[in-house]
Amino acid sequence: MDVAVAGGHGKIGLRLLCRIDAPDFEEIPKRGPLIIISNHTGSIEAPILYGELFPRAVSAWAKAESWDNWFLKWIFGVWEVIPVHRGEADMQALRRALAALKEGAIFGMAPEGTRNKTGKLIRAKAGVVVLALLSGAPILPLANWGGEDFRANLKRLERTDFHVRVGKPFRIETNGAKVTNDVRQEIADEMMYRLAALLPEDYRGEYSDLSKATGKYFVNAQGPAEPTLTA
């Protein structure tokens, strides 16, 4: 199926299944490389966000085992999702992500690193910071909630209320500091506080105390810019 057809049909179909509340979605830049970070509550936010961002080029990583499923293999091919081998330094997946950003795509990332079934934020993985550091691309927090109820609602033949809130873009600035594993984790946690601030209090989980956010590694990003590739 053509990407345009899949994107258009997917958007229509999901709006039949969900009531999408996204009042500030238009604030997402229309061009230029961009890393979108989002919480990962279930199986529905990826197709919704892909549909809403269409026709912008969007890519992301997904675990390589997903390609063993014929449907996921097909849909990930349509979406140009990049397989990543977990538990190892997958340099090919990293290079493909950097190439997508260089071409001006949006790259979606879930700092939690795994599906969060309760809707409450869990601790971020430090590895999420690597792509942002190497690319220099602006990062945009995008929080969602309601998707954790999608499967239960579908069984009851009920529509799901799916909410999206968009934050302000920023870039990572380490000011020459050595980026150790601890620093990467600190930056990942700071990313999550940006997401938590967009969520209702009940969804903030591990990042409920927003007073712990310092933002010391972040600078505001204004408008699209070419990423500075270093790998």
Instruction: List the domain boundaries for the chain.
Output: 3-220
pLDDT of residue 171: 94
Give the amino acid at 182.
Answer: D
pLDDT of residue 10: 52
Of the options 3.30.450.20, 3.55.40.20, 3.40.1130.10, 3.40.50.620, the CATH number for the domain spanning 3-220: 3.40.1130.10
pLDDT of residue 11: 62
Residues of the chain with pLDDT under 50: 1-9, 223-231
Q: What angle do CA 78, 124, 216 make, to 5 degrees?
A: 115
Could you give the CA distance from residue 53 to residue 144 in angstroms, rounded to a whole number?
Answer: 14
pLDDT of residue 123: 95
User: pTM of the entire structure?
Assistant: 0.87
Residue 172 CA neighbour count, 13 Å, CB half: 28
